[in-house]
Amino acid sequence: MKKLIVTGSSGLIGSEVVSRFCSKGWKVHGIDNNMRADFFGKAGDTRWNQKRLIETFPLFEHVELDIRDREKVKVTIERVRPDAIVHTAAQPSHDLAASRPFDDFDTNAVGTLNLLESCRLTSTGIIFVHLSTNKVYGDSPNRLNLVEQETRWEYADQKDYDGIPETHSIDQSKHSLFGASKVAADVMVQEYGRYFDMHTCCLRGGCLTGPNHSGVELHGFLSYLIRCNLEERKYYIFGYKGKQVRDNVHSHDVCSFIDQFIENPRIGEVYNIGGGRNNSISILEAFKLIESISGKPMQYEYQENNRIGDHICYISNLSKMRTHYPNWDITMGLKDTFEQIHQAWLTRI
């Protein structure tokens, strides 16, 4: 029986990976210590998802473990000897990183190194998939020529229409401390691939979303926005007139790509993964879409100051992924994704 380790297994992508691979007959060991509850309080708690996975999948084993604990990480990987590791655990918030820089760096950078080195010492044949972020590019995408439209910012030049490619520079830009810690992890994953000839990849995510997301104000834009609408709670827009654009990718499509990479792995690869052009939406446009689904008006307040290092318009260029893995593509559209998240919150609150 094939074996998989998933870090952050109670989170959005982690839990989707658990579901997919358990359903395929893999033995899945999920590493999680509910650090989101520490980072974000009760609203970020993921124990409900952990409980759901344990009750649903006999092939799932929960491992209560902090990835900052180097020795326990090493012992766990040596014990399991997995065929692959999918690393989704992280401190995911721009704002929180600034107030808790050591927790941020130790989780994102050092935790990733702990996993990579334990993986190498156990077997260089273990496939390693890392959930990185588009924040590794810092605010450099904001230097592209942009044009303001009625409801969104848009790329002004035709060459940028399909979005940000993997060749876009990560240098000479403001990342936020969160972005910097993820750069460190991202580069280390690439280096272990190239230096030690290991099958690794970094998935630089746009807005990853789905019905199992415990979205909070500091992380999980779409899930949190939809919850605010459902509860008729005020949503705060930070700068850019609410016209900032994100491309949203459903967790199902993220896990579909992870599955394909594990089946046909490559060495030290980097991919931008998001919803692409067709799944791009601004905050103002997202308000209109959820209002059309819920029938409730969006309550919001605008604040002029944008978040430090935030993107004005970010769309993932998916050309490289589609070229390397032609059987993969986006299958979940924006409306279906909104409806699923809306329905999920109805059952959880």
Encoded tokens for 208: 């990853």
What average pLDDT does this structure show over 31-55? 90
Using CA atoms, how far residue 60 sits from 10, 54, 161, 210, 343, in Å, is 12, 6, 42, 21, 26
Distance in angstroms (rounded) separating the CA atoms of residues 292 and 269 = 40
Encoded tokens for 273: 């993964």
**β pairing state of 153-155 and 146-148:** antiparallel
* Local confidence band at 215 (pLDDT 50, 70, 90 cut-offs): confident
CA 297 to chain centre: 28
Judged against a pLDDT cut of 70, whether residue 290 lies above it is answered with yes
Q: CA geometry: angle at 280 spanning 274 and 283, to 5°?
A: 120
Yes or no: say if 312 and 240 are a contact pair by the CB < 8 Å rule: yes
* Local confidence band at 218 (pLDDT 50, 70, 90 cut-offs): low
Q: Which residue has the tokens 């008729």?
A: 232
pTM of the model: 0.95
pLDDT at 305: 92
Query: In order of start, what are the domains of the chain with their CATH numbers?
Result: 3-348 (3.40.50.720)
CA 234 to chain centre: 25
Judged against a pLDDT cut of 90, whether residue 316 lies above it is answered with yes
64-71: long-range contacts (C-beta < 8 A, 24 or more apart)? 64/32, 64/33, 65/31, 65/32, 65/33, 66/33, 66/35, 67/7, 67/31, 67/107, 67/111, 67/112, 67/114, 67/115, 68/106, 68/107, 68/110, 68/111, 68/114, 69/114, 70/114, 70/118
pLDDT, tens digit, 9 for 90 and up, residues 243-289: 999 999 999 999 999 999 999 999 999 999 999 999 999 999 999 99
pLDDT at 37: 82
What average pLDDT does this structure show over 146-165? 98
Q: Where are the alpha helices (DSSP H) in the chain?
A: 12-23, 35-40, 47-56, 70-80, 94-99, 101-105, 111-122, 176-196, 221-231, 251-263, 283-294, 319-324, 334-348
Q: Which residues, including other chains, have CB under 8 Å from residue 151's CB and lie 6 or more apart?
A: 243, 282, 284, 285, 288
Distance in angstroms (rounded) separating the CA atoms of residues 342 and 284 = 17
